Structure 1
Amino acid sequence: MSEIPLSRWALGGEATRGYGPRFAELVAQGEDVDGEARLADALSPRRSRILDAGAGMGRVTAALRARGHDVTGIEPDRTLVAQAEETYPGIGLLPLDILELTPAALEAHGRPTAYDVVVAVGNVFILLAEDTERRALTTLRGLLAPGGRMLIGFHLAAGPSGSRTYPPEEFMADVDAVGLKVDLRAGSYELHPANSEYAVWLLSAASSPSR
């Protein structure tokens, strides 16, 4: 397997450490942290196989399981994996990077190798390792079941510490290059109109990569 470079998240060091505890506190206070999961649920047939790629501290994985789906959550940050287990005992996030995802790796953990919906929300794509966006998109595309779809969301401006700016035009070019197509672009997980602050993308496999 090719080398897995350090992500922007990993390189952020201490600047990233407040994320898990902050969301754990919101969960403990009963705050609504299920916006992404509600949309993913609406996109999914009942009892779907869903991959939560870059699951963080597990809130989307947990919310989708509560809605009856078979969810595989992956998260390479061991601190967040531990935080997820504290907040959602038994959640069992797999300590894998998106770039490590292969059918063999998933099989080794007893998980499906094809998914009805792949979710990569919460700024996952603007915190990937430099110049790995197409590699990540290709990896996730390869795990889509026939007719499967991909839900991706990230800030276009004022993203988290260490994140990149990912202009919509560049993202769409990367999507096209790896054999995906944009079915929908919105400005929020409640499907507000597209804007310059946040982008929510619904993707599916094109017939073949364009180049």
Structure 2
Amino acid sequence: MAEAPPPTRWAAAGPARGGYAENFARLVASGADVDGEARLADALLPRGARVLDVGSGMGRVAAALAARGHDVVAVEPDPDLVAQSRRTYPDLEVLEADVLAVSADDVGTFDLVVCVGNVLVFLAEGTERPVLERLRSLLRPGGRVLAGFHLRGAPPAARRYSPEAFIVDAEAAGLRVDLRAGSYELHPPTDAYAVWLLSAAG
């Protein structure tokens, strides 16, 4: 694996993370519907596809996709979230690493790379474009990236990532925007949340 990347905004936030893990653990335990991202991802894929969940958190999206029959690898740099994921979903493969420390030589390539739940607005400052380049490098021919993040209303530690800035970074990373929506149910775009479907340009 490559040299360790810089600390993310998530790591620097400390208590300002706002109880993310505890909140989703309660939701999962209560039987609440937390599969919106996974339903859309599943609809984009053939059966038995290879999926990489980048910034997989406590594992809910990756586990839901694995339960739907996909070959899923989860990548999460936060050791506490990795531990929670392994407790909650013991059959889920989780790699404790920053995506910038992972290459196709390590994990192979994928039909879909999932990068949801505000991962892109919690990256280390200045690494957005390198991360998008890395996501592109992990795609199989015809593969796609499903991303989503708050445009407003994100936790204080997150950056504001405007649609315009994101599109510039995505295109510079060799990605094409195929779809922008306002939710994982594909509502029209809003100024609150953005869901993106990307593919390799050219």
TM-score by length of 2: 0.97
Residue 41 of structure 1 aligns with an amino acid whose one-letter code is D
Alignment of 1:169 onto 2:170: no
Q: Which segment is superposed worse, 12-21 or 181-190?
A: 12-21
RMSD, aligned α-carbons: 1.0
Unpaired runs of 5+ in structure 2? Answer: none
Residue 193 of structure 1 aligns with an amino acid whose one-letter code is P
Give the structure 2 partner of residue 50 of structure 1. 51
Alignment of 1:12 onto 2:7: no
Give the structure 1 partner of residue 86 of structure 2. 85
* Runs of 4+ that moved beyond 3 A: none
Residue 190 of structure 1 aligns with an amino acid whose one-letter code is E
Identity %: 58
Alignment of 1:185 onto 2:180: yes
Number of aligned residue pairs: 201
User: 1:16 Cα deviation (Å)?
Assistant: 2.0
CA deviations 1:122-164 (Å, max 9, x no partner) are 0000000001000000001001000001000000001123000
Alignment of 1:147 onto 2:142: yes
Check conservation: 2:150, 2:193, Cα contact below 8 A: yes
Check conservation: 2:72, 2:93, Cα contact below 8 A: no
CA deviations 1:26-67 (Å, max 9, x no partner) are 001000000000000000111000000000000001000010
Residue 157 of structure 1 aligns with an amino acid whose one-letter code is R
Distance in 1 (CA, whole Å) between partners of 2:93 and 2:47 is: 22
Distance in 1 (CA, whole Å) between partners of 2:111 and 2:72 is: 10
Give the structure 2 partner of residue 104 of structure 1. 105
Alignment of 1:72 onto 2:73: yes
Question: 1:182 aligns to what SS in structure 2?
Answer: strand
User: 1:103 Cα deviation (Å)?
Assistant: 2.2
User: 1:87 Cα deviation (Å)?
Assistant: 1.4
Rate the CA distance shift 1:84–1:17 in 2: closer, same or farther, 3 A: farther
Question: 2:52 aligns to what SS in structure 1?
Answer: strand
Question: 2:100 aligns to what SS in structure 1?
Answer: helix
TM-score by length of 1: 0.93
Distance in 1 (CA, whole Å) between partners of 2:143 and 2:106 is: 20
Unpaired runs of 5+ in structure 1? Answer: 107-112
Distance in 2 (CA, whole Å) between partners of 1:41 and 1:56 is: 19
Check conservation: 1:153, 1:198, Cα contact below 8 A: yes
User: 1:105 Cα deviation (Å)?
Assistant: 2.7
Check conservation: 1:21, 1:83, Cα contact below 8 A: no
Residue 133 of structure 2 aligns with an amino acid whose one-letter code is T
Distance in 2 (CA, whole Å) between partners of 1:195 and 1:95 is: 33
Residue 195 of structure 1 aligns with an amino acid whose one-letter code is T
